[in-house]
Amino acid sequence: MSRKKNILWAPWRVKYVTESDDMDCIFCEKPQQEKDKENYIIHREKNCYALLNIYPYNNGHTMVAPYMHSGDITEIPEKVFCEMMGLVQRLTGRIRKKMGAHGFNIGINQGRPAGAGFDGHIHVHIVPRWDGDTNFMPVQSGVKVIPESLDSAYKKLSF
């Protein structure tokens, strides 16, 4: 039995896929633009900030990044790293409270072999998870359903 393949068109991602090595650092550019709502920056601190991932694995998928440009966690000063982890902690609590998340995947991908899409700038991913948030769509059709818009998540999580 031949299986029909469905195609999900996402032309806005072509620049990310084909030019990622030539792109400027989004983690340096976005906070300098002073367009927090348009860039989905939900919170700023002295040395770091939090923003929504515009290519989320789940709704509420956020990232915390230092303003300092470095792809190596060992180069981040301890006070900056502590501020980042404090923001990760507060943001995790906020996502639990505002979105009702049951669990989280939290991590840092350092270097392209480790899965870092932007390997030149360290950032922490916070991916909310819910009991039963897996379903047949990714398994049967390779499609992930994100049930909430970025604008709605921005309104819930900004502080």
* Residues annotated as catalytic (active site), given as ranges: 123
Coil, strand or helix at 108: strand
Angle subtended by helix axes 78-99 and 150-157, to nearest 10: 110
Coil, strand or helix at 41: strand
Rg (CA), the chain: 17
Coil, strand or helix at 24: coil
Rounded Cα distance, 89 and 153, in Å: 18
Other CB atoms within a 10 A radius of the CB of residue 45 amount to 16
In degrees and rounded to multiples of 5, residue 77 shows phi and psi of -60, 145
